[in-house]
Structure 1
Amino acid sequence: MMNFFERSLQIIHANQSKHGAYVASPNFSQYGYCWFRDGSFISAAMARAGNKKSANKFFRWGFRVISEQKAQIERLLAASHELITHKDLLPTRYNLDGSLTSDDWPNGQSDGYGTFLWAVEKYAPQDLLNENRELIEILSKYLIKVWNIPCYDVWEENPEGIHTSTLFSIAAGLRAAEKILDKETEWIEVMSFIERELSKDGRLKKSSLSDDVDASLIWGAVPFELFPVDHPAIVNTVKAIEEKLYINGGVKRFSTDTYFGGGSWILLSATLAQYYTRSGEFEKARAIRKWIESHFDSKGLPEQVPEHLIDSSKYPEWLGRWGEIARPLLWSHANYLELLLDLGGKS
């Protein structure tokens, strides 16, 4: 029988470039790049699994990229807030060597940089933090400047909105910077905004544009720990996710998702299972783990599983446009590793 834990580590190792970047997926036409979001979650899982050398290699790559974007950050810090749009924000993805891409991808996203700060505070060695203290400070100033500027969400849609899971990523990053720098940031203001403006009927909502629920809202509790798992807003949000997005082990992104028809996402299922584990609901967590492992093949885990589709007519459209669903997706493997570590079993 395949050892899924070890195989996940192998897949991530095999797809980390010599520069330190993790490719999102090695054989999917649109994913041959490194996203700060994916890479930060992957590096955190690798560090937690004992592969600190791999994680530190990514952290160094990230700091190099931020250093090269320093002039752009300084321009934004000097700019009038009301004139900044998502088009001015730092890119969310880069070529594996850290250079800028030259396409029209919806790059203006803020969550990846917050996730990066969260990951480095949690797992980077102190000497690496000391070396990059100035970059951590300028990046935290950048996030303070732009957190409430509408941008693309974590699914690279809806640039006119302010998105709750994006703000969770930023709040987690600013809280991390506060610990590293021993200097106050605005993470509490960001959380206050979420509770005031992005909540409805006792639960969190997807964004300023939508009262719907989104599975990424679990990040507020897992992994970012901005809320305890038993906080009423989180408990009520998970109930809504169970009602609207969960089917037999798999979790949808949101109720109107039509990307590849709107299948069930491995990485979100793993995060929901982590929530269950930390809430003491081990049967539910193990059921999701079993579902994830049933979709593990020789290539690894996919991004999503095309089952119980929200709009099955869209599935062939995406197949024709971009080919088969990404497999392996490194972020899927990272979140699966995190689940196994939470459950205390590596096999």
Structure 2
Amino acid sequence: MTTTPPPSSSTLAGLAHRSHQVITEHQHRSGAYPASPTFSAYRGFAWFRDGSFTAEGISRYGDVTSANRFHDWAAGVLTDRRGHIESLVGAADSGRQVPVESMLPTRFTLEGGDGAVQWWNFQTDGYGTWLWAVTEHARRHDLDVGRWRPAIQLCVDYVAAFWDRNCYDWWEEHLDQRHVSTLGALYGGLVAAVGSGVVDAARAARAGQVAEEIRKLVLDEGVRDGHLIKWLGSEVVDGSLPACVVPFGLVELDDPVAAATLDAVTRELDTDGGVHRYAADVFYGGGQWLLLSALLGWNRAAAGDTAAAWSYLHWIAAQATNDDELPEQVPHHLLAPEHRAEWVERWGTVATPLLWSHGMYLVLADELGLLTGEPRQWQERR
């Protein structure tokens, strides 16, 4: 059996530069990052979750202006909805039940509107992810995080009010569950907001209290066989779970639960370097997602296993098209191949490029020192 040699350092670095180019070329004049400029269900829309991870890659690349523009767009989305957010939070604080249809969307038009197309919209993880990403960007580049203070305060209020509500997960599925990856993002966002010093004392106190409640809930009900699980009370894992370790810190790297979670995801969802979303996935046949390989590689790098992290970077680079564009997923080891055709018929070929894939490639490349020549020391940055 022959094996393909790993990409050269120049190829890997070239893909990083191309990733920056793809992301910034498609960044909307508003500052929003479209999820994919060509895919029928994604073009014209931006997600806080996808965009925040993409902005993290751009921030690490050193393009402060592009990342600022995204965070300005996200902040504007929130402050434009100040009255609605305050009404939602007020209702929650008074004990009134808020219907799912009234909650903030998970995706917005590139101009910042809600959009008229029906979607699986109630997802809270993106708001926690943005809190983490905007404060991390400001810290990295020594920016005045006060630039985004009004939006951060609104976002903290919204997250603190609705963190314990069932909602859709990263994959816009299972509204009836509380998802551990979602809870991890909310925890990471609240802790980051408090640590930035941008919120007032009362908000900081509430955010800190909620963060501890989240952590206790997950450790009590979100762990099976020593590792994190897909949702509270489930038995399976999800490819998004490593985010609960790095970057969100719900479980610290030196906690046995962290190591067990990374190992469980690797064992159950990694096929030859490509990470699936979850074992029962049928979306486009259940392929391997580049961004999840980058996420697991990021965690391996942070834990000191740089050999594994480099392997993930090599695998991702090998999936690039002839134009050095990175897709959402690839079909080499489909979990449910009989379902692929129905999705192609419904929405067309797999999203390519996916800006989130390019953003996560930049994150992992930077973590390994490809962008700066010096690998990151996660523990020193925490």
TM-score (norm 1): 0.96
Q: How far apart in 2 are the matches of 1:286 and 1:47?
A: 21
Shift of 1:282: 2.1
Q: Distance in 2 between matches of 1:263 and 1:281?
A: 25
Return 5+ residue gaps in structure 1 as ranges.
Answer: none
Shift of 1:127: 6.5
> Is 1:224 paired with 2:248?
yes
Quick check: 1:299–1:327 contact (8 Å CA) kept in 2? no
Could you say what secondary structure the match of 1:325 adopts?
coil
SS of equivalent to 1:313 = helix
Structure 1 residue 132: deviation in Å? Answer: 3.5
In the superposition, relative to structure 1, how do residues 269 and 23 fare at CA in structure 2: closer, same or farther (>3 Å)?
same
Partner of 1:329: 354
Which residue of structure 1 aligns with residue 40 of structure 2?
29
Q: Which amino acid aligns with 2:57?
A: A
Shift, 1:133, TM fit: 2.2
SS at match of 2:294: helix
2-structure distance, mates of 1:281, 1:271: 13
Could you give the per-residue CA deviations for residues 297-321 of structure 1, whole angstroms, max 9, x where no partner exists?
A: 2150000011211110001111111
Distance in 2 between residues matched to 1:5 and 1:225, nearest whole Å: 26
Name whichever of 220-229 and 242-251 sits farther off: 220-229
Equivalent residue for 1:104? 118
Shift, 1:153, TM fit? 0.6
Q: How does 1:136-285 map to 2 (within 5 A)?
A: 136-179=152-195, 180-181=198-199, 183-184=204-205, 185=207, 186-208=210-232, 210-285=234-309
Match of 1:120 in 2: 134
139-148 or 82-91, larger mean C-alpha shift? 82-91
Distance 1:45 1:309 in 2: 28
Q: CA deviation at 1:223?
A: 1.9
Which of 36, 59, 81 is the equivalent residue of 2:71?
Answer: 59
Q: Does 1:10 align with 2:21?
A: yes
Matched residues in 1 for 2:131 and 2:53: separation? 11
Aligned amino acid, residue 22 of structure 1: Y
RMSD between superposed Cα atoms in Å = 1.7
Letter matched to residue 175 of structure 1: V
> Identity over aligned residues, as a percent?
38
User: Match for residue 316 of structure 2?
Assistant: 292
Q: Secondary structure at the match of 1:130?
A: helix
Q: Which whole-Å deviations, capped at 9, do the CAs of 1:71-108 have from their partners, x for residues lacking one?
A: 11111112144612433321011110111111110011
Match of 1:27, SS state, is coil
Q: Which residue of 1 aligns with 2:82?
A: 70
The count of aligned residue pairs is 347
Distance 1:274 1:216 in 2: 12
Greater Cα offset, 174-183 or 127-136:
127-136
Aligned partners of 1:85 and 1:151 also within 8 Å: no
Partner SS state of residue 132, structure 1: helix
8 A contact 1:86–1:149 mirrored in 2: no
CA distance in 1, matches of 2:302, 2:344: 37
Greater displacement, 261-270 / 190-199: 190-199
* CA deviations over 1:156-180 (Å, ceiling 9, x no partner): 0000111001111111111122122
* 8 Å Cα contact 2:106/2:124 also seen in 1: yes
Secondary structure in structure 2 of the residue aligned to 1:284: helix
Return the offset for 1:278.
1.6
Distance 1:131 1:273 in 2: 32
Alpha-carbon distance in structure 1 between the residues aligned to 2:147 and 2:59:
19
Cα distance between partner residues in 1 of 2:144 and 2:115: 27
The residue matched to 1:83 in structure 2 has which SS? coil
Aligned-residue offset at 1:51: 0.6
| Correspondence for 2:329 | 304
| 1:69 CA drift (Å) | 1.4
Contact 2:18 2:324 in 1 (8 A): no
Residues 189 and 248, structure 2, Cα contact 8 Å, conserved in 1? no
Conserved? CA contact 2:269–2:279, under 8 Å: yes
State how far apart, in whole Å, the 1-side matches of 2:223 and 2:328 are.
29
- C-alpha change, 1:132 and 1:126, in structure 2 (3 Å) is farther
My pick for the range that moved more, 26-35 or 231-240, is 231-240
What do the CA deviations read for 1:209-264 (whole angstroms, capped 9, x no partner)? 63210011100112223332231111111121122101101000111011000000
TM-score normalised to structure 2 length: 0.87
Letter aligned with residue 321 of structure 1: R
Does the residue aligned with 2:327 lie in a helix, a strand or coil?
coil
Is the 2:78–2:154 contact (alpha carbons within 8 Å) kept by the matching residues of 1? no
> Given that residues 76 and 151 in structure 2 are in contact (C-alpha distance below 8 angstroms), is that contact kept between their aligned partners in structure 1?
no
> Which residue type is aligned with residue 76 of structure 2?
R
